[in-house]
Amino acid sequence: MDVGTMAGTVRVDLSRRLIGDCVWSVASVDRLSTSPEYKTTVGAFGGCSVNVQDICLAGQRAFLSNALVDASLAELRQRCARESVPTGVLSCSQSASFTSIAGADVPLPRALTSIMEVLDTWGPSTDRYVMLVNIGNTHWVSACVSLRTRSVTMYDSIGGPSPTKSLIVSRLLLFARQATLRRRVTSSFSAAEEVEWKVDEVNQPSQQDGYNCGLFAVGYIWCLVYGQDFGSLRIVGDHLRLSLIHFIVQCGSARAAPPGRGQGSLR
């Protein structure tokens, strides 16, 4: 779809709504539920919503808020339930719970407890975990922990070293080890088996502006899950932003449509 048509579709949709109207949502589910449907398609995203104001704010040339980021991750989580590789998609609050909150590092004992709580959201057969992590309330990066390939990958659209990134990598390795230990309890893994983890950082494609890091981080995760090479794409940050807004609006409209109508665009 060309940019003009996409922008026009969003504009027409929002023109029919008031500023506080809900555009997209995932219904609240009992947090104590242990049903497979809850764990694989809802998890930590139950009760999330995006309203017209969130969309308008996301349309500005500024840092992306958690609202649209979590909406995109929630949509990906539902689709991952149908993919061949069991993949856990963390919400922003889940990834923050063992890395940093409001720019402050989470203490190691609390981080370990949070990791165990996060892992309990999925079954032990989950092979891969993907997430977004915020650095200092100013920059989004994304990460993947793969138990199958024994690798931890961080994607940063800007690149460069920082103490916070080093901390995030250490917490991702802690997450990976705890996930492996958890799997050993219910599988044939040897208790004495040592796992050597490979750590990589990816920086391509790089953003050419100072405010679209969240869009690049989201795009990387989606391409990773679907086996596409994000680095080979020619990306305009503002176009990526509009695409995400359009996607969230269309998903919300399709979910609100009567059964049998409006669902084709989500495939």
pLDDT band at 121, cuts 50/70/90?
confident
What is the CB neighbour count within 10 angstroms for residue 223? 16
Report all structural domains of the chain as residue ranges with CATH numbers, in order of start: 3-266 (3.40.395.10)
pLDDT of residue 124: 81
Question: 42 vs 187, which has greater pLDDT?
Answer: 187
| Statement: residue 266 has pLDDT above 50 | no
| Distance (Å, whole) CA 179 – CA 95 | 14
For residues 127-147, average pLDDT: 94
pLDDT of residue 37: 52
Q: How do beta strands 151-155 and 139-146 pair?
A: antiparallel
pLDDT of residue 259: 59
pLDDT of residue 47: 79
What are the strands of the beta sheet with 87-89, ordered from one edge? Answer: 87-89, 128-135, 139-146, 151-155, 198-202
| Statement: residue 63 has pLDDT above 80 | yes
Render pLDDT for 76-92 as a digit per residue (tens, 0 to 9).
998 887 777 899 999 99
